[in-house]
Amino acid sequence: MRVDKFLNTTNIVKRRSIAQDMCDSGVVAVNGKPVKSSKEVKKGDIITLTYLEYTKIYEVLEIPTTKNVPKNQSALYVKAVDQ
C-alpha cells in the first residue's frame, strides 16, 4: 500500500492529499529515508512524521485491506513509538 494512502486509511492524517503534500515537503520518512507519496509500505516499517515542533514515529503492524479503518481499530494497523 502507498504511504500516502496508508496514512489516510489508518487515520494518521485526515486526507490523502494532505499526506501527499507532506511527502512532497519531505516531512514523511520511512525507515529513516524521506520518501515520495508512491513509496510502498510493508509490515514492520517505521514511519516518521517530522513537524515543526515535534516528531511522531509509527510502526506498521498490518496493512489494511479495506479503504477505511474505524478510528477505534487504528491500533490494529499502526502503533505510535515513544521517542
pLDDT value at position 31? 94
pLDDT digits (tens, 9 = 90+) for 7-45: 999 999 999 999 999 999 999 999 999 999 999 999 999
- Looking at CATH, the fold of the domain delimited by 3-81 is given as 3.10.290
| pLDDT for the residue 83 | 63
- Residue 62 is predicted with a pLDDT of 93
* Predicted local confidence at residue 29, as pLDDT: 96
pLDDT of residue 66: 87
> What residue ranges do the domains of the chain occupy?
3-81
Residue 82 has pLDDT above 80, yes or no: no
Report whether 7 contacts 28 (CB < 8 A). Answer: yes
